Chain A
Amino acid sequence: MAAFVIRRILWGIVTLVAVIFVTFLLFRIFPGADPVTLLAGKGATPERERFIRQELGLNHSWIVQFWLYLKGIVLHGNLGFSFFTERPVLGEITAALPATVSLTVGAAVLWFVIGIPVGILSAIRRGSIWDRAAMTVSLTFVSMPVFWFALILIYLFAKSLGLVSFLPGPGSYVGLTADPVHWFTSLILPWLVLALTQAAIYSRLLRGSLLDAMGEDYIRTARAKGLRERTVIMKHGVRSAITPVLTVFGIDLGGLLGGAVITEKIFSIHGVGLLNITAIGNSDFPVIQGTTVLAAAFVVIANIVVDILYAYVDPRVRVQ
């Protein structure tokens, strides 16, 4: 088990270095705009441009730049400085992260709490009115684009914008420590946007996987033992059916922690996703690079956690 975990972590590090390399290459070799021109303005003197270029470290070849960058991360945890604000990228990210974590983790709790019971109920009452209704509604949510759904919710509920305006709308986010109540209410709409579409996917996934599990021989054995139907479903059925859901959950959560771009943008939540697209608009390479590495790190970590969790859930994996 320990060897398994170590191997997974080493592979994760290799993956991360590859991600850093590829993004580095993409943004430095094929830049959208020269950051020097952007910073210096159009009529700048060549001396000023040369000064800025040297200041930003752009006079080295990209291989040297990559080496310095990697060395900075490994030795000092230094992700470089933003071309624009000139503040450390790490600082920018740590300032943005709480918002993204609040948004994602809150939504994850909500989609699990909604998706799992709906999936279980639909599976055990397959073909009933409830099942059909739940599956139709979930199909609707699955098919709705997030940005559209977000705008609809704002149009309906957001304060001063919506028809029934009672929930704080875009731009109202404040940190948890600043004002917990306001933090909570301002996140209700964004949470709903993220959670309802995800809950729809999870309920369908769990329904299918539980229906498969309930057809297994060991479920028949559990019934033949005289267990209560509740135990048969909740212990024997759900335990098997939940494994594929956990896999998807880990990867979804990892992906979203790297920035829920659309939701953050629409609700003007200054999280990692918004930081990332703002940086892209500014050709702010160090920030783009930093947020991308962070997102990749979350996905890699989520995968490792899922693998370890899998081994915990399924004893057959443990042996190998």
Chain B
Amino acid sequence: MTEAPLLEVEDLRVHFSTDDGVVKAVDGASYSVAAGQTLGIVGESGSGKSVSSLTALGLTRGRNTAISGRMMFAGRDLLTLDASKMRQVRGNDLAMIFQDPLSALHPFFTVGNQLIEAVRSHRDVSKAQARERAVELLGLAGIPDPAGRMNRYPHEFSGGMRQRVMIAMALLNEPKLLIADEPTTALDVTVQAQILALLQDLQDRLGMAIVIITHDLGVVAEMADEIAVMYAGRIVERAPARELFARPQHPYTWGLLKSIPRLDNPREEDLTPIPGRPPSLINRPSGCHFHPRCPYVQDEHRRVDPVLTPVAGNAEHEVACLLPAQARNAVWQALSRGESVQQAQLLARDRARVAARGPDPAASADPGGPLEVQP
């Protein structure tokens, strides 16, 4: 990961003016993807995941949109490309697939028609050559009888097959980066696994980078090299996938992890939902945007806005949280042992107090305390 990243997003802000006020859908997000790598962007609906990727394709531009920051892609800032240059990037070097593959395909045109026009909008080839390429990609995407299926309409395909068509369409022009926005959310669980396996297989063969956007950490667990957790338009935690699952640092990430069922968890352990709802993107909470929903909130968190800073001992792991590092480690260990959020809350308060006072001889003199946790 030492080479220059393929896509580097810096302090991206996408604000929409509406009648109710300015919706700050993305508000200072920074992330990057290296060539051939996979980045998972995880967060609830309304966290700005989709808007940031649609912005990469220039699809959020409009009279009521204010976009700032930088999105460097293969040496060019996507945000400053004019409409015609942007069009040449879309579906060519940078492709995207969407959540609902039925509504994403035009119901009145055959699949072949829609694939061929995608080839011909970027390459100066004959219809026959474009058709050949489309059939090839449909085959690669695992569609049986690809030549025959070219003359079929989208409604004649199943949900999984439609998503395969979308994937084929996105990869026609050998993009360097594929953005997959909730690619499996509208599909059955078994089909989900097939689609994810297909994406990974195609990545191995074609070598493109992937940004996979999802609300489901389970989806990115196997695929992603790196995971960025997004909340209220910002990245709140970023780490290599393995590291993120082993040592998550942000209370929001803990919430996401504790709210998905796991086979290796004890049966009696309940899933813990994250309380509350994502904040209004018009009137954001002061201080840390997560504080109204954070079980470990302290007074200063309501005033101070945390920045993304490296976690001690691992430069690749960054978190935007005001809790002291010891408190975070202690809480996650307690939570992963299956202790309740209430117990973890006490622990966090205790650890934060300790951290505020500095090294406390009394605390270290009492290693067998009830809330003591092995670091």
B155 at the interface (CB under 8 A from A): yes
**A43 sits at the interface (CB 8 A):** no
Q: Could you say which interface size class chain A belongs to?
A: 20 to 34
In the assembled complex, A41 has its CB within 8 A of some CB on chain B:
no
Say whether B98 contacts A231, CB under 8 Å: no
A215-257: which residues lie under 8 A (CB-CB) from chain B? 216-218, 220-229, 231, 235-236, 239-240
Measured in the bound complex, the distance between the Cα atoms of B123 and A225 in whole Å is 12
Query: Does A216 contact B87, Cβ atoms closer than 8 Å?
Result: no
Query: In the complex the two chains form, is B107's CB within 8 Å of A223's CB?
Result: no
The interface centre, meaning the residue of B83, B89, B90 with most chain A CB atoms within 10 A of its CB, is B90
* CB contact between B106 and one of A223, A224, A226, A236 (< 8 Å): that residue: A236
| Minimal beta-carbon separation of A280 from chain B (angstroms) | 45
The answer to whether A226 and B89 have CB atoms under 8 Å apart is yes
Interface string of B95-115 (1 = CB under 8 A from A): 110101001111111000000
Q: How far is the CA of A216 from the CA of B118 in the complex (A)?
A: 18
Interface centre among A220, A228, A313 (most CB of B within 10 A): A220
Q: Give Cα A226 to B57, complex, Å.
A: 9
Partner of B103, one of A217, A229, A239: A217
- Tell me whether A77 is interfacial, beta carbon within 8 Å: no
> Do B103 and A316 have beta carbons less than 8 Å apart?
no
B88 at the interface (CB under 8 A from A): yes
Contact check, A225 vs B91: say whether CB atoms are below 8 A apart: yes
- Is B153 at the interface (CB under 8 A from chain A)? yes
A316 to B59 alpha-carbon distance, docked (Å)? 29
Tell yes or no: A145 within 8 A of B by CB. no
- Find out whether the CB atom of B121 lies under 8 angstroms from the CB atom of A227: yes
Docked-complex contact B107 and A316, CB < 8 angstroms: yes
Residue of A nearest to B57 (CB): A224
**Which residues between 306 and 320 of chain A lie within 8 Å of chain B, taking CB atoms?**
313-316, 319
B residues near A217, Cβ cutoff 8 Å: 98, 100, 103-104
Q: Does B92 contact A (CB under 8 A)?
A: yes
Q: How far is the CA of A236 from the CA of B121 in the complex (A)?
A: 14
Q: What is the CA–CA distance of A239 and B117 in the complex, to the nearest angstrom?
A: 15
Q: How many A-B residue pairs have CB under 8 A?
A: 78
Chain A interface mostly helix, strand, loop or mixed? helix
Q: Is the CB of A218 within 8 A of B90?
A: no
Contact B121 A218 (CB under 8 A): no
Whether the pair A225, B107 counts as a contact (CB closer than 8 A) is no
A228 to B85, CA, bound (A): 11
Which one of A218, A226, A228, A313 contacts B104 once the chains associate, using CB atoms below 8 Å? Answer: A218
Chain A CB within 8 A of B169 CB: yes
* Among candidates B89, B105, B108, residue contacting A239 with C-beta atoms closer than 8 Å: B108
0 or 1 for each of A193-222: is its CB under 8 Å from B? (1 = yes): 000000000000000000000001110111
Residue in contact with A225 in the complex, picked from B100, B118, B156, CB distance below 8 Å: B118
* Interface presence of B258 (CB below 8 A): no
User: Least Cβ distance of B92 to chain A in Å?
Assistant: 6
B108 touches A226 (CB 8 A): no
* Chain A residues closer than 8 Å to B107, beta-carbon distance: 218, 240, 314-316
Q: How far is the CB of B84 from chain A (nearest CB, A)?
A: 9
| A217 and B54 alpha carbons, distance in the complex (Å) | 12
Q: Complex formed: what's the CA distance from A222 to B87 in Å?
A: 11
- The reply to whether A218 and B103 contact each other, CB–CB distance below 8 Å, is yes
Roughly how many angstroms separate A316 CA and B155 CA in the complex, as a whole number?
7
For the complex formed, measure the closest distance between the CB of B246 and the CB atoms of chain A, giving whole angstroms: 35
List residues of chain A with CB within 8 A of the CB of B153: 315-316
Question: A227 contacts which chain B residues (CB < 8 A)?
Answer: 87, 91, 117-118, 121
- Distance in angstroms from A244 CB to nearest chain B CB is 13
**Set of chain B residues within 8 Å of A220, measured between Cβ atoms:** 54, 59, 98, 104
Cα A223 to Cα B121 in complex, Å, equals: 11
On chain A, the residues within 8 Å of B149 by CB distance are: none
Could you tell me the distance between the alpha carbons of A224 and B96 in the complex, rounded to whole angstroms?
Answer: 7
CB pair A226–B88 under 8 Å, yes or no, is yes
With both beta carbons as reference points, the residue of chain B lying nearest to A242 in the complex is identified as B108
Supposing A218-B103, A225-B91, A226-B92 touch, asked if A313 and B169 sit within 8 A by C-beta, the answer is no
Task: Tell me which of B87, B100, B121, B155 contacts A315 (CB under 8 A).
Answer: B155
CB distance from B361 to the nearest CB of A (A): 61
A222 surroundings in chain B (CB, below 8 A) = 106
Is B70 located at the chain interface by the 8 A CB criterion? Answer: no
> B105 touches which one: A221, A228, A313 (CB < 8 A)?
A221
State A126–B335 Cα separation when bound (angstroms). 53
Extra contacts, 19 of them, besides A226-B91, A227-B87 (Cβ < 8 A), are A217-B104, A220-B54, A221-B98, A221-B105, A222-B106, A224-B90, A224-B91, A224-B98, A225-B90, A226-B88, A226-B92, A226-B121, A228-B87, A236-B106, A236-B109, A313-B108, A316-B107, A316-B155, A319-B156
Please report B residues at the A interface, Cβ cutoff 8 Å: 54, 57, 59, 83, 87-92, 95-96, 98, 100, 103-109, 117-118, 121-122, 153, 155-156, 166, 169
Contact surface of A with B, Cβ cutoff 8 Å: 216-218, 220-229, 231, 235-236, 239-240, 313-316, 319
Instruction: Provide 21 A-B residue pairs closer than 8 Å at the C-beta atoms, listed in order of the A residue.
Output: A216-B103, A217-B100, A220-B54, A221-B105, A222-B106, A223-B59, A224-B90, A224-B98, A225-B90, A225-B118, A226-B91, A226-B122, A227-B117, A228-B121, A229-B83, A235-B117, A236-B109, A240-B107, A315-B155, A316-B107, A319-B155
Name the 7 nearest CB pairs between A and B, nearest first.
A226-B91, A226-B90, A217-B103, A225-B91, A218-B106, A225-B118, A315-B153
